[in-house]
Amino acid sequence: MIVVLIGYMASGKSTLGRILAKKLNYDFIDLDDYIEEKELLSISDIFKSKGEIYFRKVETVYLKELLEHKTKLVLSLGGGTPCYSNNMDLLRNLPHIKSIYLKASIPTLVTRLKKEKSKRPLIAHIETDELLTEFIGKHLFERSQFYSLSDVTITSDNKTEDDIIEELVLELF
């Protein structure tokens, strides 16, 4: 089985993915890290030098590569991955995939993201909490139709990592 974690930036996909993989004795791969390794460029450098269209194409190529050649894997997707190139259809049509949407509220995401804005090129330029809230709200509105196609939705607000991991394991087995 491949467990695919879906959700917005700072929803906990990578952090929880690593913990879950260790608990299940699965491999863990963050798709963005995998792309950077394969392309020998950071995600922000790929966007700057080759553009978003190029990035979205290679993102799908590498997603398919991982889904076809791996088992016992926890895979964390980028926040936009489910929204492009029919990637959600791909996930939904493969029988060995279990997709999980880690859902966090806008206030939770704002709190988490304002601490790490400098590491997030998409939001680094946003100066106030009010503008960040508006940006996240707009993105979530656009992306929620894709995220909601996941097999399972787990809300992470006001829960510990241990609580969420326990909930994930119960949903999987």
Domain containing residue 12: CATH number: 3.40.50.300
Supply the range of the domain harboring residue 6: 2-172
Count how many domains the chain has: 1
Per-residue pLDDT of 131-170, as tens digits, reads 999 999 999 999 999 999 999 999 999 999 999 999 999 9
Report whether 14 belongs to an annotated binding site. Answer: yes
**Degrees to nearest 5, angle at CA 101 with 20 and 141:** 150
Q: What are phi and psi of 115, to 5 degrees?
A: -75, -20
CA-to-CA distance for 147 and 100, rounded, in angstroms?
9
Q: Is the pLDDT of residue 119 over 80?
A: no
13 is in an annotated binding site: yes
Q: How far apart are CA 19 and CA 148, in angstroms?
A: 23
pTM: 0.94
80 is an annotated ligand-binding site residue: no
Q: Is 15 annotated as a binding residue?
A: yes
**Annotated binding residue 120:** yes
Q: Which residues contact 114 (CB under 8 A, 6 or more apart)?
A: 129, 132
156 is in an annotated binding site: no
